[in-house]
Amino acid sequence: DAGVIQSPRHEVTEMGQEVTLRCKPISGHNSLFWYRQTMMRGLELLIYFNNNVPIDDSGMPEDRFSAKMPNASFSTLKIQPSEPRDSAVYFCASRQDRGNSPLHFGNGTRLTVT
C-alpha cells in the first residue's frame, strides 16, 4: 500500500491567492482527517470525515477554509483567500473506523504564504 498521499509537498503562494491541498487516503479507510501543525499551536485537528461526510469541522479556523470529500479516495482542503498566518504544515490522515485502528498520516504539505 502506498500510504496516505498528499500533494503538493510544498506550496508557496502570495497573500490573497487560493490554495488547494489534496489528499488520497489509504484504500479501504473510511475516516479522513485534516490537521495543521505550527510551532506555536502544535498539531490542530481542522475537520474530519466519515464515509465522505463531514462530521466535525469545529477546528476550521475561518470561513476562508473549506474541505470536501467527493468520494472515498480523494479529499481537498481549500483556503481562499490565503493569508500569511495560514503558513503551516497541513497533514491528512486516514483510518478504518473500526475498533482501535490507528491513524495513518501523509507526509504533509508545507504551505508558505508571503
Partner 1 sequence: SQQGEEDPQALSIQEGENATMNCSYKTSINNLQWYRQNSGRGLVHLILIRSNEREKHSGRLRVTLDTSKKSSSLLITASRAADTASYFCVPSNTGRRALTFGSGTRLQVQP
Rank residues 10 and 85 by Cβ distance to partner 1 and give the closer one: 10
97 vs 5: CA distance, rounded Å: 19
In this structure, what C-alpha cell is assigned to residue 53? 461526510
Cβ at position 97, least distance to partner 1 in Å: 6
Place of cell 479556523: 61
Nearest to 23 by CA among 67, 86, 80: 67
Q: Quick check: 99 binds partner 1 (CB under 8 A)? A: yes
Number of residues that bind partner 1 (CB under 8 A): 23
Of positions 2, 63, 70, 102, contacts partner 1 by CB under 8 A? 102
Question: What are 33's strand-pairing partners?
Answer: 48, 93
Question: What are 2's strand-pairing partners?
Answer: none
Rank residues 14 and 97 by Cβ distance to partner 1 and give the closer one: 97
Q: Quick check: 103 binds partner 1 (CB under 8 A)? A: yes
Q: What's the Cα-to-Cα distance from 46 to each of 2, 35, 43, 54, 99, rounded to whole Å? A: 24, 5, 9, 11, 23
Q: What would the x/- binding string for partner 1 be over residues 33 to 52, using CB under 8 A?
A: x-x------xx-x--x-x--
**Chain contacts with partner 1 (rule: CB under 8 A):** 4, 31, 33, 35, 42-43, 45, 48, 50, 55-56, 91, 93, 97, 99-100, 102-108
